[in-house]
A and B are shown apart, each in its own frame.
Chain A
Amino acid sequence: MSVIKVNELTKTFDKKDVVKALNFELNPGKCVALLGPNGAGKTTTLRMLSGLLNPSRGSVTFEGMKENGDIREHIGYLPQYPVFHNWMSGKEFLIYVGQLANLPKKQASDQANSLLKRVGIADAGNRRIGKYSGGMKQRLGIAQAMIHKPNLIILDEPVSSLDPIGRREVLNLMEELKEQTTILFSTHILSDAEEVSDDLLLMHQGEIVESGSIESLRTKHQTAKINLTFGDSNDNYLSSLKSIPSVNESLIERNEIQLLVDDIDQARKDILLKVSQENLPLTKFEISRTSLEDLFMKVVKN
């Protein structure tokens, strides 16, 4: 049983499809990263899931939601740049949004206290939000998303705007939260996704190009790779290496020629033969495997 089901979700701005017919489901208790470069349509997707934007086509359904029900009851949402009422204290704001989510005042207040403690800003609870630092605001943002114990928490770039310390703290917090609820968060940084998420949705130009658990993606896209470096400019040799039949793909990355191959033994033989025949000034020869990083870069560059 999935928490949320997205069917042919599409958003069109000015006749351009920013999000193109997405289909996916999220399973309960998972932490899912929506990974993609800037402009891939991540924020638009999350805003449609949270009801802030209306889909141009397609639908979003929640588990246990009545016909014509309000999807907002089932989700907590943290925008990329959360803005609060700066004249309120953190605790007042949590109680305010708690009551807006239909909690009685007493319960909203208890919940606010426990969340302030949970996200680690209990000391600042009675201070004005205007005086909070970026990291504290982000934590308050996560707390307000959780106030009504939603089935799904949607976080839009929760760590992108933070300094290294704030980023570490929020990632740890997400690690704790995923014990209790389903989390969907967007990021353009692969290492953040790898660190806390179970599943990955890789998005590019409005489409989900790859999805699955981190482990399965890692295995699936693990192809052999040969890295070569030459004494002078690598560009001069790329074309002759490309012509080797056992080389599937070639690219230059960080002063290195990378060749993707299927049969590593055959490729090694072919390449070394070519190097000795043409007397190429090879300085480094290395066999490795592609990582998720390579997959991400490949998707983004195409």
Chain B
Amino acid sequence: MQWKTIFVKEMLEDWRNFKWIWVPLVFILIAIMDPLTTYYMPKILDAVGGLPDGTVFEIPDVSPVAAMMMSLSEMSMFGVVVIVAITMGVIAGERRSGVAELVLVKPVSYLTYITSKWAEKLVLVWISFIIGMFASWYYVNLLFGEISFSAFLQVLFFYGLWLSLVVTITIFFNTLFKVPGLVLFVTIATIIMMSIINQVFSHVLIWFPNNMSSHIGGMLDGNHVSGDLWGTAFVTIEVIILLIIASLFSFRGKEMAN
């Protein structure tokens, strides 16, 4: 009951400040940017004056899989930044402004408060991500060649898990700090650290969440879901659950009026 109340209020807030409009639009942009510019590069070059005569410039053929992976690669940069930016203030902002003092003086459990806000942001992120990737899938099929719908759904599911982890990390830092800008900085720093760890130890930490997209690439190439992809998905879900529990404990230790 209280859970639904906060969830609905968050939905309404994101509607009134237009997040439900601009976040899906930005995700469409992020998803189609790279495949489209790659496809139209020869025409763009021509339009801006072309290459000097005699230049041999082979534009490699891009496979449909490579084109779709381009979308994911942009997601992992700009998509992540957008997600952190729209989530950085959900709890920290309310505590900083003082609204939390009015809300949490009502008999609301901290678990309800945290998870309802978390769930609402997940819904916003998933829907925006799905819309964006549909646009990407459409152009990839049109311009580069076919990717089956079932493979596309698998991409959505597994990569969506990684984005859910990004939301959860941001929520976790929301419970630690009460300055949204600091939440943004620390979350991005953490994700960059994870990416460095992933690059250095990728041969050992095969199921590390940041490995998700490379396993997804493997899945699209080989046309089946590998055990490593399932393993990575499993680890990601585990980390999400642990982070939610950690958020609860971190929030409990806080005094709301400080």
- What residues of chain A have their CB less than 8 Å away from a CB belonging to chain B? 47, 50-54, 70, 72-73, 75, 77, 79, 81-85, 87, 96-97, 99-102, 141, 144, 148
Interfacial chain B residues near A72, Cβ < 8 Å: 105-107
Within 8 A of A (CB), among B9-58: 9, 13, 16-17
**Do A99 and B255 touch (CB < 8 A)?**
no
Of all chain B residues, which has the CB nearest A73? B107
Cβ A83 vs Cβ B97 within 8 A? yes
Say what secondary structure dominates the interface of chain A. Answer: loop
Question: Considering the chains assembled together, what is the distance between the CA atoms of A79 and B5 in angstroms?
Answer: 22
On whether the beta carbons of A70 and B102 are closer than 8 Å, the reply is: no
Residue B1 interfacial (CB < 8 Å): yes
Enumerate 16 A-B pairs (CB-CB under 8 Å) in ascending A order.
Answer: A50-B105, A53-B258, A70-B107, A73-B107, A77-B101, A77-B102, A79-B98, A82-B98, A83-B99, A83-B102, A84-B99, A87-B16, A96-B9, A99-B5, A100-B6, A102-B1
Nearest-CB residue, chain B, relative to A47: B257
| Contact B102–A97 (Cβ < 8 Å) | yes
Identify the closest chain A residue to B113 (Cβ).
A100
- Residue with the greatest number of chain A CB neighbours at <10 A, chosen from B5, B98, B99, B102: B102
B2 at the interface (CB under 8 A from A): yes
Give B residues with C-beta under 8 Å from A: 1-2, 5-6, 9, 13, 16-17, 97-99, 101-108, 255-258
Residues of B within 8 A of A82 (CB): 98, 101-102
A83 is contacted by which of B6, B101, B104, B107 (Cβ under 8 Å)?
B101
Partner of B2, one of A51, A77, A81, A102: A102
Residues of B within 8 A of A99 (CB): 1-2, 5
Asked if A85 and B257 sit within 8 Å, CB to CB, the answer is no
A97 to B101, CA, bound (A): 12
Residues of B within 8 A of A144 (CB): 102
Complex Cα spacing A70 to B17, Å: 34
Write the chain B residue with the least CB distance to A70: B107
Contacts A82-B98, A83-B97, A87-B17 known; A52 to B106 CB distance under 8 Å?
A: no
